[in-house]
């Protein structure tokens, strides 16, 4: 996947272990996120997501567990060439401070269907049907 550094402090995303699903994304600046606050973090990177794929920005599990840090609205389309940003929110009860170069999220690249929506009179029946929240016993 091609990546361009837009900022001197930017770090090229990497999958830390052979089985890692996501590429770690790092911030180019430090900041503090207070409880309930949303903050747009700059990565200093432009990424060329391969055609037929989409990049989904997801939280890092350790930050979510230890500090309540989550990501919001993170989709990187294959034709987007601007700076990749990470929208974080602090669901915890304490401020969370991070430094420049710190891993703040991960980019998971997955296949993306590209096709037209076709209106039909009814949909094919499935075993689940219209069962929604909790309908599978969870």
Model pLDDT for residues 7-62, shown as the tens digit of each residue: 999 999 999 999 999 999 999 999 999 999 999 999 999 999 999 999 999 999 99
| Region 71-83 average pLDDT | 97
The pLDDT value given to residue 133 = 81
Tokens 């389309």 — which residue? 77
3-state class of 98 per DSSP? Answer: strand
CATH (residue range 2-111): 2.70.40.10
**Does residue 87 carry a pLDDT above 90?**
yes
Give the C-alpha separation, 2 to 84, whole Å. Answer: 13
Q: Where are the domains of the chain?
A: 2-111
**Does residue 119 carry a pLDDT above 80?**
yes
DSSP 22-86: EEEEE-SS-EEE-TT-EEEEE--EEEEPPTTEEEEEE--HHHHHHH-EEEES-EE-TT--S--EE
**Does residue 138 carry a pLDDT above 70?**
no
User: Mean of the per-residue pLDDT values for the chain?
Assistant: 96
**And the tokens for 10?**
């930017």
Give the C-alpha separation, 40 to 20, whole Å. Answer: 24
pTM of the predicted protein model: 0.89
Tokens 């949303």 — which residue? 38
The pLDDT value given to residue 131 = 82
| Region 83-106 average pLDDT | 98
Half-sphere exposure of 68 (CA within 13 A, CB side): 14
């Amino acid at each position: 996947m091609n990546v361009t550094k837009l900022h001197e402090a930017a770090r090229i995303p990497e999958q830390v272990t052979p089985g890692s699903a996501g590429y770690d994304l790092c911030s180019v600046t430090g900041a503090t996120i207070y409880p309930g606050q949303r903050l747009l973090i700059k990565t200093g990177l432009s990424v060329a997501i391969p055609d037929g794929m989409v990049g989904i920005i997801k939280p890092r599990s350790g930050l979510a567990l230890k500090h309540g840090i989550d990501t919001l609205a993170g989709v990187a389309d294959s034709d987007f060439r601007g700076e990749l940003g990470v929208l974080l929110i602090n669901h915890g009860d304490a401020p969370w401070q991070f430094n420049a170069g710190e891993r703040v999220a991960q980019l998971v690249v997955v296949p993306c269907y590209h096709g037209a929506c076709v209106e039909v009179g009814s949909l094919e029946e499935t075993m689940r049907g219209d069962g929604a929240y909790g309908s599978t016993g969870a």
